[in-house]
Amino acid sequence: MITRKIMVDAMEYNFQVDGTTWQVDFSKSQTKVKDIRQLALLKENSTFFCTGFF
């Protein structure tokens, strides 16, 4: 088994390669939704964030 490390932007992914089989493990997300209104931040425009003109 061979271990490969691939970096994309600031993320690092560790792959285990065994022949033609590749496996990657992702860390468990610590993000929790406490109020259903938090999901609106993913789908709708918000005044909490700027539009990205820097």
- The tens digit of pLDDT for each residue in 41-51 reads 777 777 766 66
pTM, two decimal places = 0.41
- pLDDT tens for 2-36 read 998 888 888 888 899 898 898 988 777 777 788 88
CA–CA distance from 53 to each of 25, 48, 49, 50 (Å)?
A: 35, 15, 11, 8
CA separation for the pair 13, 44 (Å, rounded) = 30
